[in-house]
């Protein structure tokens, strides 16, 4: 009997030790799996937020690049851009044209607003208080046109935003830096409206040094933050680094409010995104306490192990541990399915961007008054160029294409007469789309008929990379020999905008074109960081990698 008791006691002791070990392992695995799942979900969310912000800032830059401002006083300046704006993105609240008016232009502006049917055409302050024109000595920024026009928005034109602490500071910075700038979070449309962010892009006429006005787009903050539903692992808060004591949160209904930062409430992780020349910090708060959940699971396993005999307890604890681990792996796989949905959304965004570019090409090519045969030839060629670069990007899983591949005969005309030279670098997806259209425009206008010597011009396209690291610069040169301004086909309006504004701005560089005694030259200079864009490539590579559950 004593020996049997000793054996039973030994088995019981062994069972308790095994149960305790199983509980410890379950606790450790629960914590590890929860942290991995939360970290991956946060990374995907932050990447999607940055992509959305980048697309919306690009919309403002493209709109300002295509914008024509012959007369800033007109109240219908957005008319040529309305179809393109809606095709590119439709989630903005208000798109506006803010003109910089001289004091002597205010009467004309008021008359134009009245003729356009706006209910309050008076030029007034941002809070609808009267504005004394005699007291003005400097130009003021007045809202002259907006989209959409509804009952809430029709009353806004005529307001001057110079004295507005938020919008005025945004416009002053955009004027000084001559690039798109984002505002502080501010109520949109009305004082108690939804909280959002406004991005303003200056419109600088050709040959001018000061902007004639600003294209603005306002977005609700909830949609930009990609707020999660009650099934998400975390809640998101947005904090402006200049206001460390406050943060903005969105409810499940998309209502954004402000709350004070508390020492007792520390985010599980934070990420920084860039928008409008500023850095914004996203704070992620886990919805569940991983430590408490791991402790509860471990206690359950230990209790089960202590309730049965030593060996059975140890075996059951081990089986329970494996079942729990399998359950957590299933939950992680569900999270991976959400990641797949995010990848599909990313692809949808890219397709919509391509369709918006094609719509812009069709609109500009088939504008009123253009020769239908020439327009048809240019339109087919431009679409073929876009199709070629999309095919190349698809083959590389959108991780960029070799620059020499953009000179294939199926993409641009006269490819057999182009001498291509330069390092075979791989450019990013965004740069490839801009460069493909750029090469087609140059080649399609290379000559109209006979050249200076009765032969087609010889074309040389070469590029070099100077400098190293972040200082590396991309230099591209296109030269058509045996041609002149008289023999070369004149560039279209779309081509001029693409050559001089859209392509250089998309690459963050500068361009120039000119004729020499016997040739036509186009030169483009841009930083390699923009041409290659490793951030975009790394993000695409991350989405394309197969997902494996943690071991």
Residue 184 reports pLDDT greater than 80? yes
CA distance 217 to 95: 4
CA distance 474 to 426: 12
Residue 366 reports pLDDT greater than 90? no
Which single residue is written with the structure tokens 């239908």? 372
pLDDT of residue 172: 92
Tens of pLDDT, residues 285-334: 888 777 777 787 878 877 777 777 656 555 544 555 566 577 777 877 77
Q: Quote the tokens at residue 422.
A: 């330069």
Number of H helices, E strands in the chain: 13, 20
Residue 523 reports pLDDT greater than 90? yes
Tens of pLDDT, residues 468-515: 888 899 999 999 888 888 878 777 777 788 788 888 888 889 999 899
CA distance 43 to 51: 12
Q: Answer for the pair 179, 278: CB distance below 8 angstroms, yes or no.
A: no
Q: Answer for the pair 55, 354: CB distance below 8 angstroms, yes or no.
A: no
Kindly list the distances between the CA atom of residue 237 and the CA atoms of 53, 220, 221, 264, 284, in Å, as whole numbers in the listed order. 16, 14, 11, 15, 7
Mean of pLDDT values over 147-151: 85
Q: How many residues does the chain have?
A: 551
Which single residue is written with the structure tokens 């007369």? 71
Count of CB atoms within 10 A of residue 400's CB?
A: 24
Tens of pLDDT, residues 64-100: 777 765 566 777 777 777 776 666 656 788 888 899 9
Which is it for strands 195-203 and 181-182: parallel, antiparallel or unpaired?
antiparallel
Q: pTM score > 0.85 for this model?
A: no
Cα angle value 258/231/295 (rounded, 5°)? 95
pLDDT of residue 540: 57
Q: Quote the tokens at residue 184.
A: 């502080």
Tens of pLDDT, residues 321-355: 566 577 777 877 777 777 667 657 666 666 666 66
CATH architecture group of domain 42-296+327-342: 2-Layer Sandwich (3.30)
Q: Does domain 366-536 have CATH number 3.30.565.10?
A: yes
Which single residue is written with the structure tokens 């219908």? 76
> What is the widest separation between alpha-carbon atoms in the chain?
118
Residue 159 reports pLDDT greater than 70? yes
For 123, list phi and psi in degrees, rounded to 5: -75, 120
């Amino acid at each position: 009997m004593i020996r049997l008791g000793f054996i039973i006691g030994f088995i019981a002791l062994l069972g308790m030790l095994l149960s305790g070990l199983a509980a410890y392992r379950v606790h450790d695995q629960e914590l590890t799996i929860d942290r991995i799942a939360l970290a991956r979900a946060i990374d995907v969310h932050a990447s999607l937020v940055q992509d959305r912000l980048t697309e919306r800032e690009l919309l403002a830059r493209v709109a300002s690049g295509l914008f024509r401002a012959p007369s800033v006083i007109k109240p219908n300046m957005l008319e040529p851009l309305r179809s393109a704006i809606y095709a590119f993105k439709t989630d903005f609240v208000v798109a506006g044209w803010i003109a910089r008016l001289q004091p002597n232009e205010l009467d004309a502006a008021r008359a134009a607003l009245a003729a356009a049917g706006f209910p309050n055409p008076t030029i007034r302050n941002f809070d609808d208080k009267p504005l004394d024109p005699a007291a003005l000595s400097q130009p003021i920024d007045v809202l002259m046109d907006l989209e959409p026009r509804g009952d809430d928005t029709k009353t806004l034109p005529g307001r001057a935003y110079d004295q507005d602490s938020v919008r005025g500071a945004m416009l002053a910075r955009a004027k000084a830096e001559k690039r798109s700038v984002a505002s502080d979070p501010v109520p949109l449309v009305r004082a108690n409206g939804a909280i959002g962010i406004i991005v303003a892009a200056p419109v600088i006429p050709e040959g001018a040094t000061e902007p004639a006005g600003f294209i603005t787009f306002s977005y609700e903050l909830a949609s930009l933050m990609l707020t999660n539903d009650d099934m998400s692992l975390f809640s998101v808060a947005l904090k402006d680094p200049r206001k460390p004591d406050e943060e903005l949160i969105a409810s499940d209904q998309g209502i954004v409010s402000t709350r004070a930062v508390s020492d007792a409430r520390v985010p599980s992780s934070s990420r920084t995104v860039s928008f409008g020349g500023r850095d914004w910090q996203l704070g992620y708060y886990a919805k569940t306490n991983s430590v408490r959940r791991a402790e509860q699971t471990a206690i359950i396993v230990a209790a089960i192990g202590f309730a049965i005999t030593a060996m059975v307890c140890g075996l059951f604890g081990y089986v329970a541990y494996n079942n729990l681990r399998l359950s957590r792996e299933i939950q992680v796989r569900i999270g991976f399915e959400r990641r797949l949905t995010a990848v599909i959304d990313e692809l949808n965004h890219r397709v919509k961007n391509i369709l918006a570019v094609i719509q812009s090409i069709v609109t500009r090519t088939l504008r009123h008054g253009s020769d239908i045969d020439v327009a048809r030839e240019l339109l087919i060629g431009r679409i073929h160029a876009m199709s070629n670069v999309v095919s190349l990007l698809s083959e590389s899983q959108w991780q960029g294409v070799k620059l020499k591949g953009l000179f294939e005969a199926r993409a641009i005309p006269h490819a057999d007469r182009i001498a291509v030279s330069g390092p075979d670098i791989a450019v990013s997806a965004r740069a490839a789309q801009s460069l493909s259209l750029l090469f087609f425009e140059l080649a399609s206008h290379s000559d109209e008929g006979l050249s200076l010597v009765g032969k087609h011009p010889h074309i040389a396209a070469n590029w070099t990379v100077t400098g190293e690291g972040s200082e590396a610069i991309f230099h591209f040169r296109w030269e058509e020999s045996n041609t002149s301004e008289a023999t070369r086909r004149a560039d279209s309006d779309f081509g001029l905008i693409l050559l001089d504004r859209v392509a250089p701005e998309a690459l963050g560089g500068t361009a120039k074109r000119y004729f020499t005694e016997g040739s036509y030259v186009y030169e483009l200079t841009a930083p390699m960081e923009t041409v290659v864009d490793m951030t975009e490539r790394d993000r695409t590579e991350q989405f394309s990698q197969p997902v494996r559950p943690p071991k």
